[in-house]
Amino acid sequence: MAIVGSGPLRPALDALAAYLEPRYRAAVNRMDVVVANSKNVQSRLARYLGRESVIVHPPIDTSGYRWKEDGDFYLSVA
């Protein structure tokens, strides 16, 4: 996986990407459900990670949700 661009940091960024990519793929593959915020993101998840996903279109009215307790899951919105 090569980082687009050039400059003196490119080799370091390429090395970092090569180090992080398998760890990222492994983490995504451990997820029970992958959520995308658009068809575009959903298609990229399928193309690059081979993962199906469900689409939750923003904005979402969160006023009806309340924190109850911790569970055996985590949510990444990065």
Q: What is the pLDDT of residues 33-50, one digit of tens each?
A: 999 988 999 999 999 999
**How far, in Å, CA of 25 to CA of 30, rounded?**
9
Question: Global pTM?
Answer: 0.61
Q: Has residue 9 got a pLDDT over 70?
A: yes
How far, in whole angstroms, is CA 52 from its chain's centroid? 12
**How far, in Å, CA of 18 to CA of 21, rounded?**
6
pLDDT cut 90: percent of the chain above it: 55
